[in-house]
């Protein structure tokens, strides 16, 4: 537990410093949401209909930020070798890095989403549903992204490649997140079943993604 | 009969594949001739779809091969990571472009079939969407392979990604059962047996065999090309070594000469 806390805390501190990705992800989230009405037009009813989906897509893209530096810096300066040599589990290390990334990217996005919902003419129930589903779903996005980051750790142009590798795997999270949000606002559609599936995806990612990321990091050390 | 372990020697594999390749290629030609004759002429037209049902004889083998290729790549990935088979990553890397091509072919033939049948080139139902995701996965894998300098290291990293993405294959297979899809449900691989009429089933199976022989021939040829490519790369690296040493020695002598 303390190893996880140490690494997660270090990730958060590094991200909050100048040059870190904490505020940038939030600003990118804002930028994407602001650009949407320029693209689809200012029709408020249309914005309210696609608002939850656009917030989710913006959250997905913003979560991909900062992933390529998640493990790359550690591989280059030898911290990864130290973690292995010290006998600590790479799984806990990967979980710590992912946890720190979520605390500085996913969590602020989930908190900021209702306020940006105003820009997209969302009703308060929709805003609450978006915030709740993002809170439940962004850990899955971070964890799946961490697998992609571990696979491309240290590659020169890894950033774009991570997006290509990770996006297909995050599609189910996106689908159930938006379904749950829409289910919370429209009467006949259910909220609970897609939301529970979303939570299941996050828990499955929590169980499996650190194992895959640790395996990939071990390969990165060769 | 050489075992998989004995095929670990690339030279032995090259010799064996040179023997087998003409036979698989010949079998592919024969099976295609027979299959296309049966599919286009000797099988009945559908009572609802008419003659456009014959796209099935290209569409179904393509998509089966696309998913089967990924399954073979997953087995190769296990071979790379678990058993450290030397040629497993060569097999996976050679199979990826073939799988992507068959996925693309399946998508295109499906669209051509869907336009007259459903009235739309494309719908976002579960089967089509997960199959499109398979294409993106194939292309991502090819991009990942090309991002590394060392082919062996690239093979191991790609093996992890192949295994992570394998979850998509059962999703594609069972998508027509789990979700309300426009794509028709399974007609062949079902617990209660195939629902397709034998007069259409046998040409379909023949075409599947033809496609499988085509894939086997292309895969063997691609594996041979990949082995030769790696040998060329190694030879180039070795040839570059003395040149670098020679070059720095010359530079040192040049500086010394200019100074003197």
**Average pLDDT per block of 10 residues along chain A, 222 residues long:** 88 80 86 92 90 94 83 85 88 94 93 91 91 96 94 81 90 93 85 94 95 91 78
The pLDDT assigned to B249 comes to 55
CB contact under 8 A, B160 and A167: no
CA distance B144 to chain A (A): 7
The total domain count for chain B is 1
pLDDT band at B177 (very low <50, low <70, confident <90, very high): confident
Give the pLDDT band of residue B230 (cuts 50, 70, 90). Answer: very high
Contact between chains at B144 and A152 (C-beta distance less than 8 A): yes
Q: Could you give the CA distance from residue B140 to residue A9 in angstroms, rounded to a whole number?
A: 32
Whether B244 maps to a domain, the answer reads no
Query: B69 lies in a domain?
Result: yes
Please report the pLDDT score of residue B206 as a whole number.
93
**Is the CB of residue A152 less than 8 Å from the CB of residue A70?**
no
Beta bridge partner(s), residue B50: B46
Question: What number of other Cβ atoms are within 10 A of residue B12's Cβ?
Answer: 13
Average pLDDT over residues B115-129: 88
Q: Among A107, A118, A90, A168, which Cα is nearest to A142's? A: A107
Q: How confident is the model at residue B251 (pLDDT cuts 50, 70, 90)?
A: low
What does the pLDDT read at residue B243? 65
B31, part of any domain? yes
Residue B242 domain flag = no
Distance CA A80, CA A76 (A): 8
The answer as to whether B235 is a domain residue is no
Q: What's the pTM value of the predicted model, to 2 decimals?
A: 0.85
Mean of the per-residue pLDDT values of chain B: 87
Range of the domain at B74: 9-228
Instruction: Return the minimum-mean-pLDDT range out of B8-17, B65-74, B173-182.
Output: B173-182
Q: Per the CB < 8 Å rule, is B144 touching A216?
A: no
Residue B182 falls inside a structural domain: yes
Please indicate, yes or no, if residue B199 is contained in any of the structural domains.
Answer: yes
Task: Quickly tell me which residue has 């472009």 as its tokens.
Answer: B97
A170 shares contact with chain B (CB less than 8 Å): no
ipTM of the complex: 0.82
Question: To the nearest whole angstrom, how far is the Cα of A212 from the nearest Cα of chain B?
Answer: 7
Q: What pLDDT does A34 receive?
A: 92
Report the C-alpha gap between B70 and B215 in whole angstroms: 12
Q: Is B258 part of any domain?
A: no
- Considering only CB atoms, B144 lies closest to which of A151, A167, A215, namely A151
Any B CB within 8 A of A168 CB: yes
Q: Is A167 an 8 Å CB contact of chain B? A: yes
Closest approach of B126 to chain A, Cα-based (Å):
11
């Amino acid at each position: 537990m303390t190893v996880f806390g140490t690494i997660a805390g270090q990730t958060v501190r590094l991200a909050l410093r100048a040059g870190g990705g904490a505020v940038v992800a939030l600003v990118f989230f804002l930028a994407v949401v602001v650009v949407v009405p320029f693209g689809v037009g200012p029709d408020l009813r249309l914005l309210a209909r696609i608002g939850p989906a656009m917030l989710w897509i913006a959250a997905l893209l913003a979560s991909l930020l900062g992933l390529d530096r998640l493990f790359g810096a550690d591989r280059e300066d030898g911290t990864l070798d130290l973690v292995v040599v010290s006998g600590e589990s790479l799984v806990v290390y990967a979980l710590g890095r992912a946890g720190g990334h979520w605390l500085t990217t996913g969590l602020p996005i989930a908190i900021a989403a209702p306020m940006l919902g105003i820009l997209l003419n969302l009703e308060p129930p929709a805003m609450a549903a978006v915030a709740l589903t993002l809170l439940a779903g962004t850990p899955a996005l971070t964890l799946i992204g961490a697998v992609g980051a571990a696979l491309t750790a240290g590659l020169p142009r890894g950033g774009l490649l991570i997006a290509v590798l990770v996006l297909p795997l995050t599609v189910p999270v996106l689908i159930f997140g938006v379904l749950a949000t829409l289910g919370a606002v429209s009467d006949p559609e259910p909220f609970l079943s897609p939301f529970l599936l979303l939570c299941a995806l996050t828990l499955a990612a929590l169980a499996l993604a650190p194992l895959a990321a640790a395996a990939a990091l071990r390969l990165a050390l060769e | 009969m050489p075992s998989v372990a004995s095929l670990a020697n690339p030279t032995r594999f090259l010799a064996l594949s040179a023997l087998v390749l003409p036979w698989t290629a010949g079998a592919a030609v024969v099976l295609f001739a027979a299959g296309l004759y049966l599919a286009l002429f000797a099988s009945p037209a559908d009572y609802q779809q008419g003659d456009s049902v014959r796209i099935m004889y290209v569409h179904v083998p393509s998509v089966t091969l696309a998913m089967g290729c990924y399954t073979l790549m997953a087995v190769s990935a296990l071979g790379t990571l678990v058993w450290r088979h030397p040629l497993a990553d060569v097999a996976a890397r050679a199979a990826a472009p073939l799988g992507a091509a068959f996925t693309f072919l399946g998508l295109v033939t499906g669209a051509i079939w869907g336009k007259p049948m459903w009235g739309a080139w494309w719908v976002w139902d579960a089967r089509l969407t997960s199959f499109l995701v398979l294409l993106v996965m194939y292309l991502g894998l090819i991009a990942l392979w090309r991002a590394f300098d060392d082919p062996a290291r690239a093979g191991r990293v790609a093996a992890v990604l192949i295994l992570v993405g394998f979850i998509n294959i059962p999703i594609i297979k069972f998508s027509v059962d789990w979700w309300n899809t426009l794509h028709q449900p399974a007609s062949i691989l079902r617990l209660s047996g195939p629902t397709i009429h034998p007069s259409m089933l046998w040409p379909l199976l023949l075409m599947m065999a033809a496609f499988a022989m085509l894939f086997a021939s292309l895969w063997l040829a691609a594996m041979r090309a990949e082995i030769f490519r790696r040998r060329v790369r190694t030879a180039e690296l070795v040839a570059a070594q003395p040149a670098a040493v020679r070059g720095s020695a010359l530079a040192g002598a040049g500086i010394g000469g200019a100074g003197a």
